[in-house]
């Protein structure tokens, strides 16, 4: 019987290589346009979006609308938007800096706005797919309409921290969800074991991750454990969260990270408990399909992995039955044998039952005959008494006759 864990891994491998969605690509005619797209977008540069992730995992028909866009097409469009946003922010920054030179009354406020805009501009980066570099050596072949990129290019990745435990104001009556790696369950996260206060959020400089963020454990035995935030939450330092940009469907990221769990475990290092870092995660390369194909893959995987869980449950039940068979069935068979029930047909074939019946009848008759004879016999003690009485009687009669 196939190992359920190996079956699940095989399905995930099959998915990230593009083999699971081959028919979907044909229906979208993506493969026909991929070579053309690679030539047109061979000079695409790097970017990181502001992390506009989907808030839920909606597999409705509208998300699967047929389109022949390749991943390179989508990156080109995204880069154009990033360039426009960057240009707009730079223009606004220039105007504010000119205004600041006039020394207005609200100069402190303007300086604060300028600092925020500069931070935002730094986050606007364009992306160059790795497979447009001739020196790039991919770990395996992917469809022509896909590209290789780094995880750090596809969203904002942030780890958290732990507020001081000895400060009761940070935890008592807390209302902000604070996730630890023990809360991760490879599924949706609807609540956290602990909550923190606003004071803790500010003191520890924590970030609130939005609904739909993908969470991954980085420390100890839980390395690679995953979760999908269904509530806004902060995390401790052992967990990293990704808010996906518009190039990445977050459920596809979830399945990719699930497939890479063994890889992340192999990266674990440290003198005490093993751990991985945020830097190791964002440097990991990922095969990126077009967005609608990501949604399709996620939908199919959701159904297939559910079937795997059902199969795993059945396999477990079968294993339990096999264990019971090994321990209980032999005992029952032996009991069956010593009671003569195992050889009933054998006795019939030998006519043993008929002969045994006749033998038992003869033996019963013999016993009855012996019992009758015994009942007719006079006991020895009784014979002596009779003889004594007869002897006395004879003496008495003899005296009378004299």
Picking from 216, 64, 86, the residue whose alpha carbon sits closest to that of residue 151 is: 216
Tell me whether residue 339 is in a domain: no
Tell me whether residue 92 is in a domain: yes
CB burial string 274-302: b at 16+ within 10 A, e below: bbbebebbbebebbbbbbbbbbbbbbbbe
Can you give the residue range of the structural domain that contains 114?
Answer: 4-313
Residue 306: CATH number of its domain? 3.90.220.20
CA distances from 402 to 242, 391, 396 (A): 144, 17, 10
Q: What is the 3-state secondary structure (H, E, C) of 276-330?
A: CCHHHHHCCEEEECCHHHHHHHHHHHHHHHHHHHHHHHHHHHHHHHHHHHHHHHH
Tell me whether residue 325 is in a domain: no
- Half-sphere CA count of 194, side-chain side, radius 13 A: 17
The CB density around residue 204, as the number of other CB atoms within 10 Å, is: 19
What pLDDT score does 113 carry? 93
Specify whether the CB–CB gap between 225 and 199 falls below 8 A: no
Residues contacting residue 326 through CB under 8 Å, at least 6 positions apart: none
Tell me whether residue 340 is in a domain: no
Helices (H) and strands (E) in the chain, counts: 13, 12
| Ordered DSSP codes for 83-135 | HHHHHHHHHHHHHHHHHHHT--TTHHHHHHHHHHHHHHHHH-EE---GGGSTT
What pLDDT score does 86 carry? 94
45 and 92 share one domain: yes
What pLDDT score does 331 carry? 65
365 and 289 share one domain: no
Tell me whether residue 309 is in a domain: yes
**What pLDDT, in 10s, does the model give residues 32-51?**
555 544 444 443 333 333 33
Note if the pTM is more than 0.85.
Answer: no
Please state the domain count of the chain: 2
What pLDDT score does 142 carry? 94
What pLDDT score does 214 carry? 97
Q: Which residues of the chain have pLDDT under 70?
A: 1-4, 29-67, 270-272, 312-333, 351-364, 366-367, 369-386, 393, 396-402
**What pLDDT, in 10s, does the model give residues 166-223?**
999 999 999 999 999 999 999 999 999 999 999 999 999 999 999 999 999 999 889 9
138 and 24 share one domain: yes
């Amino acid at each position: 019987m196939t190992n359920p864990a190996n079956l699940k891994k095989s399905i995930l491998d099959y998915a990230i290589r593009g083999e699971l969605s081959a028919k979907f690509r044909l229906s979208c005619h993506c493969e026909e346009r991929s070579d053309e797209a690679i030539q047109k977008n061979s000079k695409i540069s790097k970017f990181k979006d502001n992390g506009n992730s989907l808030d839920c995992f909606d597999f409705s028909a509208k998300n699967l609308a047929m389109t022949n866009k390749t991943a390179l097409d989508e990156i080109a469009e995204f880069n154009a938007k990033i360039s426009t946003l960057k240009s707009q922010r730079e223009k606004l920054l220039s105007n504010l800096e000119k205004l600041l030179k006039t020394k207005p009354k609200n100069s402190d406020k303007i300086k604060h706005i300028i600092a925020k805009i500069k931070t935002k501009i730094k986050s606007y980066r364009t992306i160059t797919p790795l497979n447009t570099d001739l020196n790039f050596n991919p770990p395996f072949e992917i469809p022509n309409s896909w590209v290789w990129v780094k995880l750090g290019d596809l969203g904002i990745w942030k780890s958290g921290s732990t507020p001081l435990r000895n400060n009761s104001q940070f935890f008592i009556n807390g209302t902000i969800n604070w996730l630890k790696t023990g809360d991760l369950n490879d599924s949706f996260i609807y609540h956290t074991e602990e909550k923190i206060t606003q004071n803790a959020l500010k003191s520890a400089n924590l970030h609130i991750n939005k609904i739909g963020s993908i969470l991954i454990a980085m420390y100890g035995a839980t390395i690679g454990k995953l979760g999908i935030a269904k509530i806004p939450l902060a995390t401790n330092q052992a967990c990293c969260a990704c808010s996906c940009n518009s190039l990445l469907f977050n459920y596809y990221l979830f399945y990719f990270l699930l497939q890479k769990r063994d890889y992340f475990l192999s990266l674990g290092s440290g003198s005490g408990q093993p751990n991985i870092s945020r830097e190791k995660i964002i440097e990991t390369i990922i095969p990126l399909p077009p967005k609608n194909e990501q949604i399709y893959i996620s939908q199919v995987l959701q159904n297939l992995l559910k079937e795997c869980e059902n199969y795993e449950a059945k396999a477990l039940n079968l294993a339990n039955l096999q264990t019971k068979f090994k321990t209980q069935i032999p005992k029952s068979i032996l009991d069956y044998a010593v009671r003569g029930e195992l050889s009933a047909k054998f006795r019939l074939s030998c006519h043993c039952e008929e002969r045994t019946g006749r033998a038992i009848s003869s033996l019963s008759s013999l016993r009855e005959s012996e019992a009758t004879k015994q009942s007719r016999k006079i006991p020895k003690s009784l014979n002596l008494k009779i003889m004594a009485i007869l002897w006395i009687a004879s003496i008495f009669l003899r005296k009378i006759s004299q």
